[in-house]
Structure 1
Amino acid sequence: MSLSRFERGAIVAELTDDVVSVARRMRDFHVGCVVVVREERVIGIVTDRDLVLRVMAEGLDPSRTCMEDVVTYHPATLAREDSIETALVMMRERCVRRLPIVDAAGKVTGIVTADDLISLLSQELADLGAGIRENVDATESR
């Protein structure tokens, strides 16, 4: 299966963006992370958990704290051509829940999350189960 279904606009931030504006962007777009970019290329990632642990818990002023102070640099990324299976393996091996998708130039084209994959795979299993259930009375054994 292709990653193309996840190539919708990832929410991005610059290193100079303040935490408050990024948190509001996360709220407004209903996302749990932003991809930090420089010249449209992925350089890091910040999650809602990062904001809590690195800003709130440390007592920093979110309006004066910039992304450069809380970003996780060099996140694992996926190439546009990678498969969902590659995403699953990478998430498991690197213990991450979010993977930005990048083109050949390193520019972000989307993001795939563990929640996305759980939803997709559970639907695939439900469809398989429905197919089996509908054929239980079939006279042919498969």
Structure 2
Amino acid sequence: MTVQTVRDVMTTNVVYLPSETTLAEAARTMREQDIGDVVVADGPELTGVVTDRDIVVRAVAERCDPAATTIGEIVSKDLVTVRPDDSIHSAALLMRDQAVRRVLVCDDHQGLVGIVSIGDLAEEIDPESVLGGISKASPNN
């Protein structure tokens, strides 16, 4: 049996937004692109990642104004990364150990080449499982 790698399951269509983007703009982008995260980058420098959950927990629940608060104010700066040739099993273990739902995929030069989410792994590891089915389902927009 061939060991599947992160490269086999990663999403390569990474969406980047500058840190001055408002939460409202970021949320609209996520909805339009059908994604749960954006990479925050100012020029070539990666600042971090903002997820739909970050917007809810770190901003909306704290009564921040989504039209005035920027993603730079709530960005997760502790980046958890894997390499494209890592096994999906090792990526899943890292996600569990670091308590994250997605990891950035970086090449040998620390260039971002993709993102892997827990949903990507669930679909691949056991597509017939309940989690695999949920991950494949269309979102309720």
TM-score by length of 1: 0.78
8 A contact 1:41–1:108 mirrored in 2:
no
Q: Distance in 1 between matches of 2:128 and 2:64?
A: 44
Point out where structure 2 has 5 or more consecutive residues left out of the alignment. 130-141
Question: Does 1:34 find its partner at 2:58?
Answer: no
2:57 to 48, 53, 61: 53
Count matched residues: 125
Between the two proteins, what is the percent identity of the paired residues?
31
| Equivalent residue number for residue 3 of structure 1 | 6
8 A contact 1:35–1:100 mirrored in 2:
no
| Equivalent residue number for residue 86 of structure 1 | 90
Please give the root-mean-square deviation of Cα atoms over the aligned residues, in Å.
1.9
Matches within 5 A, 1:51-130: 51-123=55-127
| Equivalent residue number for residue 136 of structure 1 | none
In the TM superposition, what is the alpha-carbon distance from 1:83 to its structure 2 partner? 2.0
SS in structure 1 of the partner of residue 50 of structure 2: strand
Which of structures 1 and 2 has the bigger CA Rg? Answer: 1
In the TM superposition, what is the alpha-carbon distance from 1:7 to its structure 2 partner? 4.3
TM-score by length of 2: 0.78
In the TM superposition, what is the alpha-carbon distance from 1:105 to its structure 2 partner? 3.1
Paired amino acid for 1:3: V
| Equivalent residue number for residue 132 of structure 1 | none
Q: Distance in 1 between matches of 2:45 and 2:92?
A: 23
8 A contact 1:98–1:114 mirrored in 2:
yes
Over 3 Å counting, the alpha-carbon distance change for 1:82 and 1:124 in structure 2 is farther
Point out where structure 1 has 5 or more consecutive residues left out of the alignment. 126-142
Q: Distance in 1 between matches of 2:44 and 2:86?
A: 20
Q: Distance in 2 between matches of 1:13 and 1:55?
A: 17
Matches within 5 A, 1:121-140: 121-123=125-127
